[in-house]
């Protein structure tokens, strides 16, 4: 299957921003050539490890992973936009990586530079297997994009070493990664090699996690104390219990969704129902009790972690960009097991909101933390808000998020649809051309849509010969009414697991049109979410909207939503000149206008003034001047 996204469409423009702006910018950052930005040291470390220059290791212990994610993103970009110059650049970098690899296959610049005798002695903290996983994902993407095996063979040699080092035998280490990632990467490798050792290693890391005696408790050579233990225990690493006994999304949010993604891949390939049952339980807990309306996860900056049910503060949220990216990974893998729209709904929610909020529209500045409410003075003067930034940053000393964004956006065509012997399932609606096969019959699908601004989607199917097939179209969870027409005539399609199924004999040029009603909607949080009691969020289609000071002035906490049904009081306005082209929402809201000198006084009836306010899509905030922002507004 090959998907070509229209460059002028919503996601096509994002893919172009990554290709033309973000990838070159990040390459400069990896080479420490961005003025006034945190240095990376990434390329420097590989050059030192390869013996090409002298120096010390610079940066975090997981610094190698930044280059790996950039390589993966660039490889995906080549799949959809061939670029000989970029391909040659990747070949050069891969040559550098190969030069740094040790004779036995080991590849991690932190230990190559600082002492190979210490390798695999601190799995809990030092990210060797995490870095290996990211570089393995890059190798798989590069192989699929170019057919070249150099990086793939480099990483297979490293995986061979890891397979020999870890396992159940007495002469092996019985450990697993402190930061999960290699589990899902090994499953991507297995899809290529079908080598049973690659599946067995992924399964071992998952099955061994949390078993007694607890490996992390027995490790003796930690470089630093375990500062999260008092708050989360070993569930910070999702290692306090065997994975099949875990029932809640706990600990570091990114580690969690990477682990769950690996579990899903192993469950899919092996048919392990016990893993799938654990995932079902954790998925429900995470998405129904611990996920923000934007698809952000991880409510606490302490440990970048999940906390407890319904604890979803808006102004001190962590909501790491990487965590939303990882949630998309997991949702897609759940869809690969079972075609249920609830997974695609979460994937869509995160993509349009909590993922792309992590970057500016030009792809050159980034959020690590994605708040739902910002008051810039608090960010500067209140310790509890220091992790929240009112403007995106050029780069980070811990720069995991920017290349994670790049690799996800460049690979988005893989998330759009999937197929099985039962039919073609459209999960995400992107203006695109799809070339695939229906049981051996070549077919093209032209998908035309202005989604997410408009709810109309037209699909033109052109099989080379008539073919009976099923097109299954996801009915988004936010949609209450929709219509379907086939070749211009109304069509009633049965809905199964959230997908409208159109089963018929398709001929060249047949059209299927589905139109989702897309009214402005005010959304309430569960009453157990204390922070949102008495408040509503404004949405339209898959997009969450917010108020920003640039449009509405400061002191947004004074705003009260307009009375009446949202569909009646909000005006929907296309603004092509604004923030790269958006649909803005306007409404005559009320502003509390009382002021007095005393700090407190007896309560009196509040007075309000009317003001026309403008809501913009949440993902687009902080692309103008620094200022306040708010998603949840008082009734």
- Give the C-alpha distances (Å, rounded to integers) separating 29 from 74, 466, 572: 15, 52, 40
Of residues 538, 585, 542, the one with CA closest to residue 451: 542
Of residues 500, 616, 629, the one with CA closest to residue 559: 629
**How far apart, in whole angstroms, are the C-alpha atoms of residue 499 and residue 580?**
32
Tokens, residue 23: 């990838």
- Dihedral angle of Cα 571, 576, 578, 584, to the nearest 10 degrees: 20
Which candidate in 180, 250, 304, 628 is catalytic?
304
Other CB atoms within 10 Å distance of the CB of residue 628: 22
Indicate if 42 belongs to the active site: no
Sorted by sequence, the CB contacts under 8 Å of residue 93 that are 6+ apart come out as 43, 67, 71
**Distinct helix (H) and strand (E) counts, the chain:** 22, 22
Strand order in the sheet with 499-506: 417-420, 423-426, 467-474, 499-506, 495-496
**How far apart, in whole angstroms, are the C-alpha atoms of residue 448 and residue 456?**
8
**How far apart, in whole angstroms, are the C-alpha atoms of residue 400 and residue 20?**
20
Sign of the CA dihedral with 191 first, then 194, 195, and 197 last? positive
Sorted by sequence, the CB contacts under 8 Å of residue 54 that are 6+ apart come out as 48
Strand order in the sheet with 432-438: 2-5, 432-438, 441-449, 456-463, 510-516, 482-486, 489-490
**How far apart, in whole angstroms, are the C-alpha atoms of residue 30 and residue 66?**
8
Sign of the CA dihedral with 557 first, then 560, 565, and 569 last? negative
- Give the C-alpha distances (Å, rounded to integers) separating 319 from 218, 269, 290, 325, 357: 32, 31, 11, 11, 11
Indicate if 563 belongs to the active site: no
Burial profile 446-463: b = 16 or more Cβ within 10 angstroms, e = fewer = bbbbebbbebebebbbeb
**Which residue blocks in 516-571 are alpha helix, DSSP H?**
549-552, 566-569
Which candidate in 42, 379, 400, 410 is catalytic?
400
Cα 491 to its chain centre, rounded Å, is: 35
Burial profile 185-213: b = 16 or more Cβ within 10 angstroms, e = fewer = bbbbbbeeeebeebbebbbbbbbbbbeee
**How far apart, in whole angstroms, are the C-alpha atoms of residue 329 and residue 323?**
10
Catalytic residue numbers, as ranges: 304, 400
């Amino acid at each position: 299957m090959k998907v070509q996204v229209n460059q002028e469409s919503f996601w096509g423009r994002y893919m172009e921003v990554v290709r033309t702006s973000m990838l070159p910018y990040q390459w400069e950052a990896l080479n420490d050539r961005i003025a006034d930005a945190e240095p990376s040291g990434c390329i420097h470390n590989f050059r030192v490890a390869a013996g090409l220059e002298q120096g010390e290791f610079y940066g975090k212990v997981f610094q190698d992973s930044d280059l790996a994610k950039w390589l993966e993103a660039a490889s995906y970009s080549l799949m959809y936009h061939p670029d000989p110059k970029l391909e040659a650049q990747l070949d050069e970098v891969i040559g550098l990586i190969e030069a740094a690899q040790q004779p036995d296959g080991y590849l991690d610049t932190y230990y190559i530079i600082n002492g190979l005798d210490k390798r695999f002695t601190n799995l809990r903290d030092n990210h060797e297997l995490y870095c290996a996983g990211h570089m393995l994902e890059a190798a798989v993407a590069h192989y699929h994009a170019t057919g070249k095996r150099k990086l793939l063979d480099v990483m297979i040699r490293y995986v061979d070493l890891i397979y020999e080092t870890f396992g159940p035998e007495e002469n092996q280490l019985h450990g697993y990664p402190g930061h999960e990632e290699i589990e899902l990467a090994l499953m991507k490798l297995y899809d290529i090699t079908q080598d049973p050792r690659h599946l067995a290693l992924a399964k071992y890391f998952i099955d061994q996690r949390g078993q007694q005696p607890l490996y992390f408790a027995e490790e003796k050579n930690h470089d630093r104390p375990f500062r999260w233990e008092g708050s989360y225990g070993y569930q910070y690493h999702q290692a306090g219990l065997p994975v099949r006994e875990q029932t809640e999304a706990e600990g570091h949010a990114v580690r969690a969704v990477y682990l769950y993604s690996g579990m899903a891949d192993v469950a899919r390939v092996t048919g392990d129902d016990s893993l799938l049952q654990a995932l079902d339980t954790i998925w429900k807990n995470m998405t129904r009790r611990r996920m923000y309306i934007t698809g952000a996860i991880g409510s606490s900056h302490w440990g970048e972690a999940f906390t407890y049910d319904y604890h979803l503060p808006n102004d001190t949220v962590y909501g790491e960009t990487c965590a939303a990216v990882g949630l998309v990974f997991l949702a897609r893998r759940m869809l690969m097991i079972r075609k249920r729209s609830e997974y695609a709904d979460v994937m869509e929610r995160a993509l349009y909101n909590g993922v792309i909020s992590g970057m500016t529209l030009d792809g050159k500045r980034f959020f690590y933390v994605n708040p739902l409410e910002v008051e810039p003075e608090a960010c500067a003067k209140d310790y509890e808000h220091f992790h929240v930034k009112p403007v995106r940053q050029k780069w980070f000393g811990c720069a995991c998020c920017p290349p994670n964004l790049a690799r996800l956006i460049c690979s988005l065509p893989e998330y759009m649809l999937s197929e099985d012997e039962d039919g073609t399932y459209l999960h995400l609606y992107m203006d695109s051309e799809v070339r695939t096969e229906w049981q051996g019959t070549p077919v093209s699908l032209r998908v035309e849509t202005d989604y997410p601004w408009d709810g109309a989607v037209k699909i033109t199917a052109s099989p080379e010969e008539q073919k009976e097939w099923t097109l299954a179209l996801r009915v988004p969870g936010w949609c209450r009414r929709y219509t379907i027409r086939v070749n211009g005539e109304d069509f009633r399609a049965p809905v199964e697991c959230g997908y409208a199924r159109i089963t018929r004999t398709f001929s060249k040029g047949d059209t299927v049109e589905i139109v989702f009603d897309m009214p402005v909607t005010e959304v309430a949080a569960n009453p157990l979410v204390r922070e949102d009691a008495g408040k509503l969020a404004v949405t339209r289609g898959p997009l969450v909207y917010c108020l920003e000071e640039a449009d509405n002035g400061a002191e947004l906490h004074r705003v009260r939503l307009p009375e009446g049904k949202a569909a009646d009081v909000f005006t929907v306005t296309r603004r092509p000149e604004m923030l790269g082209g958006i649909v803005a929402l306007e409404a005559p809201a009320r502003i509390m206008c009382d002021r007095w000198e005393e700090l407190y006084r007896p309560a009196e009836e509040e007075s309000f003034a009317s003001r026309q306010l403008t809501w913009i899509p949440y993902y687009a905030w902080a692309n103008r001047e620094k200022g306040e922002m708010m998603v949840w507004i008082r009734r």
